[in-house]
Amino acid sequence: MKFSIERGTLLKAVSQAQSVVERRNTIPILANVLIEAEGDQVQFRATDLDIEVVDKTPAQVERAGATTVSATMLHEIVRKLPDGALVTLVDDSAAGRLSVEAGRSHFSLATLPKEDFPVMASSEYHSNFSAKAPELRRLFDKSKFAISNEETRYYLNGVYMHVADGEEGRALRCVATDGHRLARIDAALPAGAEDMPGVIVPRKTVGELRKLLEDDEMDIAVSVSETKIRFATPDITLTSKVIDGTFPDYTRVIPQGNTRKMEVDASDFARAVDRVATVSSERSRAVKLQIDDDRLVLSVNAPDSGAAEEELAVAYSDERLEIGFNAKYLLEIASQVDRENAVFLFNSAGDPTLMREGNDTSAVYVVMPMRV
């Protein structure tokens, strides 16, 4: 195998590969990227056995062939090469080495045989549809903060993507929750997605997917089966297993009868929460909200470190309310609001609170209060 490729193109392909490979693995080949050169293009394939990413890119191929090499090491090398350099990769399978040359730099990297590289079994996909990159970006960006890290409830370690009845008809919906907050984001249902099975897309896949969604004009081909999901652009294909579990019935969690409405400028609110939370103790980070007659007082009282208070003008006409929240959760939820005011709907100090952006019901957030 021998081919030449521009440094920037190579870096993009290799950096996607190195973020997929498992850092600490016991199977050496899983640290490698499979490089296959044929015709006038080169394909980079990396996997951690749960996610597989294939990146196709044009190159000047002199001699077709394939080999595998450490993804992180190749990435580090390419990263350190000067911008605009032409990189030539030559495989010497007899010596078990891949040589990487650029200008006066020469590297020789150990390879492992391509036959040992695990290729993810292909599978039948139930439904195939096309979605706009910005739509998918919104679905996952606004929900991913609520993904749980808790291993005990592994079925919460991802975003639940499914078809649901939204406020404005059938919707493609993403839900994530860790039991303390929940995000429910809807998008118009793309044609062909009607019969899509609901799947839990793992956290790492959500992170990798994000890199495919930068281009606003791009259409993403989405394929879904009971066990796998695939996102593809003309160049990159991301295939991932989905979490094998049942996502809990989140609809019961979203409060319906919260009537005490408070409207506040989202960014003013977020900044005030951030300021008062400075004095809170690392452990609990509780912020108290006292709301009375268009007036919101945010306060933190940490006996060991200090106290803080800040007042904000809000729209609120219900009876006086005192409620506590984890400052981090409040901040994260408030920072999801892009343009509109944040609308909070409370019930009591012990019940879940609902938040949405203005009157937009396509993005709904729920946060659990804490005792203060």
Partner 1 sequence: MPAFCRDCLVPLETGPRCPRCRSFRVARHPELFDLSIAHMDCDAFYASVEKRDNPELADKPVIVGGGRRGVVSTACYIARIRGVHSAMPMFRALKLCPDAVVVKPRMNVYAEVSRAIRSMMDELTPAVEPLSLDEAFMDLTGTARLHGAPPAVMLARLVRRMRDELGVTGSIGLSHNKFLAKIASDLDKPNGFSVIGQEETLDFLAEKPVSMIWGVGASGQAALDRTGIRTFSDLRRWEERDLIARFGSMGHRLWHLARGQDIRRVSANTPVKSISNETTFHEDTGDAEILDGHLWRMAEKVADRAKAKRRAGRVVTLKLKRADHSLITRRHALREPTQMADTIYATARHLFDQVGQNGRYRLLGVGISEISDAADADVSGDLLDPQAAQRRAAERAADSIRARFGTGAILKGRAMR
**Where along the sequence are the contacts to partner 1 (CB under 8 A)?**
150, 152-153, 156, 177, 179-182, 248, 252-253, 283-284, 286, 324, 326, 350, 352, 366, 368-372
Closest distance between partner 1 and the C-beta of residue 14, in Å? 36
Report helix, strand or coil for 134.
helix
Nearer to partner 1, 75 or 173 (CB): 173
Nearer to partner 1, 96 or 350 (CB): 350
Q: In this structure, how many other beta carbons lie within 10 angstroms of the beta carbon of residue 273?
A: 24
Closest distance between partner 1 and the C-beta of residue 111, in Å? 38
Closest distance between partner 1 and the C-beta of residue 179, in Å? 4
Per the CB < 8 A criterion, the answer to whether 344 and 369 are in contact is: no
Nearer to partner 1, 184 or 228 (CB): 184
Nearer to partner 1, 35 or 277 (CB): 277
CA 235 to chain CA centroid, Å, is 20
Nearer to partner 1, 339 or 371 (CB): 371
Report helix, strand or coil for 85.
coil
Q: Are strands 260-264 and 315-316 parallel, antiparallel or unpaired?
A: antiparallel
Nearer to partner 1, 248 or 358 (CB): 248
Closest distance between partner 1 and the C-beta of residue 160, in Å? 12
103-130: string of b/e by CB count within 10 Å (b at 16+)?
eeeebebebbebeebeebeeeeeebebe
Closest distance between partner 1 and the C-beta of residue 224, in Å? 25
Nearer to partner 1, 182 or 199 (CB): 182
Which residues, 6+ apart, have CB-to-CB distance to 300 below 8 Å?
Answer: 276, 277, 279, 280, 286, 287, 288, 307, 308, 309, 327
**What six digits make up the tokens of 106?**
């020469």
State residue 25 phi and psi, 5-degree precision: -125, 160
Closest distance between partner 1 and the C-beta of residue 350, in Å? 7
Report in angstroms the alpha-carbon separations of 277 from 323, 325, 327, 368. 15, 11, 6, 17
Closest distance between partner 1 and the C-beta of residue 228, in Å? 26
State residue 54 phi and psi, 5-degree precision: -125, 125
